């Protein structure tokens, strides 16, 4: 990326568009505290992940950032419920005590039901459609109640109806104060966002502004 400067407020849904190889995935990895930038700084909720140790950064990522991938990456031998619960199996759910006090099964079940998958809760991924798999992946990303949700082509493999469900769910996430940054080639998906950013050769080249911006502190 080349001289990228970006500020995102809590409650915003951002779409990043551009041709393959222009830097969209690099931007997501940097925002996700997975790839240190050569220069500059990243601040999320007032904290700087790249100023932390590797262990602290991993814990911060687990508590504050959710990832949604185009290929889902569900574990084939786990049920929908257990796939959504996997963040609780690999470390601390959160540094937020109210989250830690809640039962992870109840949290996962609530998310699954909110995404219209209550009747699939015991199914394996092989028994699901592509749209259902993506909703499971979205529920997993939201399990830790992150402040930032990063989505890499989340509608790329979906039909229009399934895409609408995923985009609506991400919109509801931002309505609760979360931030979504979505990389997409889909103009229809980008239209669901509050802002569209266009990238070319590692630079942000244009921005479509919403009519009104959420009034909140910058997240990144």
183 versus 214: the higher-pLDDT residue is 183
Sheet strands (E) in 99-138: none
Q: Do 196 and 15 touch, CB atoms closer than 8 A? A: yes
Q: Is pLDDT larger for residue 204 or for residue 190?
A: 190
* Residue 133 binned pLDDT confidence (cut-offs 50, 70, 90): very high
Q: What domain range is 118 assigned to?
A: 13-208
Give the mean model confidence (pLDDT) for residues 122-135. Answer: 95
- Residue 218 domain flag: no
Nearest to 195 by CA among 44, 70, 12: 12
pLDDT at 175: 93
The answer to whether residue 217 is domain-embedded is no
45 falls within a domain? yes
Q: How many distinct structural domains can be found in the chain?
A: 1
Answer whether residue 159 is part of any domain.
Answer: yes
CA distance 76 to 125: 6
Tokens coding 63: 């508590």
**Does residue 7 lie in a domain region?**
no
Contact between 160 and 168 (Cβ < 8 Å): no
CATH number of the domain at 115, please: 3.40.50.300
Per-residue pLDDT tens over the stretch 7-54: 899 999 999 998 888 888 888 999 999 999 888 889 998 899 999 999
Q: For residue range 77-106, what is the model confidence (pLDDT) as tens digits? A: 999 999 999 988 765 444 444 454 458 899
């Amino acid at each position: 990326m080349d001289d990228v400067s970006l500020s995102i407020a809590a409650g915003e849904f951002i779409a990043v568009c551009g041709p393959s190889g222009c830097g969209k995935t690099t931007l997501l990895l940097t925002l996700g505290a997975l790839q240190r930038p050569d220069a500059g700084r990243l601040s999320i909720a007032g904290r700087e992940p790249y100023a932390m140790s590797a262990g602290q950064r991993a814990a911060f990522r687990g508590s504050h950032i959710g990832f949604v991938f185009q290929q889902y990456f569900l574990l084939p031998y786990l049920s929908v419920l257990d796939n959504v619960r996997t963040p609780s199996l690999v470390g601390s759910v959160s540094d937020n005590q109210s989250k830690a006090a809640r039962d992870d099964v109840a949290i996962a079940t609530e998310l699954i039901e909110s995404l219209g998958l209550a009747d699939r809760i015991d199914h394996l991924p092989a028994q699901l459609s592509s749209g259902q798999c993506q909703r499971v992946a979205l529920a997993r990303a939201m399990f830790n109640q992150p402040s930032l949700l990063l989505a890499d082509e989340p509608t790329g493999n979906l039909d229009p109806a399934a895409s609408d469900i995923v985009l609506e769910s991400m919109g509801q996430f931002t309505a609760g104060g979360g931030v979504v940054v979505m990389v997409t080639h889909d103009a229809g998906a980008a239209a669901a966002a509050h802002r569209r950013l266009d990238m070319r050769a590692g630079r942000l080249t244009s921005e479509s502004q919403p009519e009104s911006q959420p009034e909140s502190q910058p997240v990144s």
